[in-house]
Chain A
Amino acid sequence: AQTVTQSQPEMSVQEAETVTLSCTYDTSENNYYLFWYKQPPSRQMILVIRQEAYKQQNATENRFSVNFQKAAKSFSLKISDSQLGDTAMYFCAFMKGNNNAGNMLTFGGGTRLMVKP
């Protein structure tokens, strides 16, 4: 079974600064995918960024980037130029590859991020 751990229950950052959210995971799989989801107060989970384990290059999406360290099983999210709209819960998630029974996501416990003006 896979586990995902987010060791920072809460974080805060000043607007326009950079913040990094941590995530570690445990798996015996070699083919898998990692995700960061954002859940604002509206409750809807929104995909922020996705990483394929077989790709060494770190994924980036505008102000969001990851530091994927496969050997260390670490997958941190960096948010640059933080904006007030980035205030939300952030969830790290793991998905096995080649699972034709359904792509089951395993989530970490979440990190509550507050962006301060």
Chain B
Amino acid sequence: ETGVTQTPRHLVMGMTNKKSLKCEQHLGHNAMYWYKQSAKKPLELMFVYNFKEQTENNSVPSRFSPECPNSSHLFLHLHTLQPEDSALYLCASSQVARGNYGYTFGSGTRLTVV
């Protein structure tokens, strides 16, 4: 157990479905992140939340909608996705302004859009 938990581990959804990915951290960190990991592409930063406020939206399509109700939880709401959105979605957390010790990652949600 790493302290960052992502659910579900696998998700298959149709293009008309609505689903949500959940991330929870138990490390007392104040920043949380969503990354997309596609085959043969570098990890892409999607969203950053710092003290529950969104500080970065990296030109992500509106069919991805993040939510951060508190500093321990982060959601990624999905609707009307496209097959090219199939990827591994990684959540991470960090403690901002404490020496930049990097992130703690979850194990990811493998998303398949059919």
Contact = CB atoms under 8 A, between A and B. Distances in A.
B96 A42 contact: no
**A interface, size bucket:** 20 to 34
Contacts, number: 69
Contact of A43 (B41, B45, B50, B107): B107
Interface residues of B, number: 28
Given A102-B50, A104-B45, A97 B100 contact: yes
Interface in A66-114: 91, 93, 95, 97, 99-110
B21 interface: no
A105 B103 contact: yes
Contacts of B59: none
Interface of B: 2, 31, 33, 41-43, 45, 48-50, 55-56, 88, 90, 92, 94, 96-97, 100-108, 110
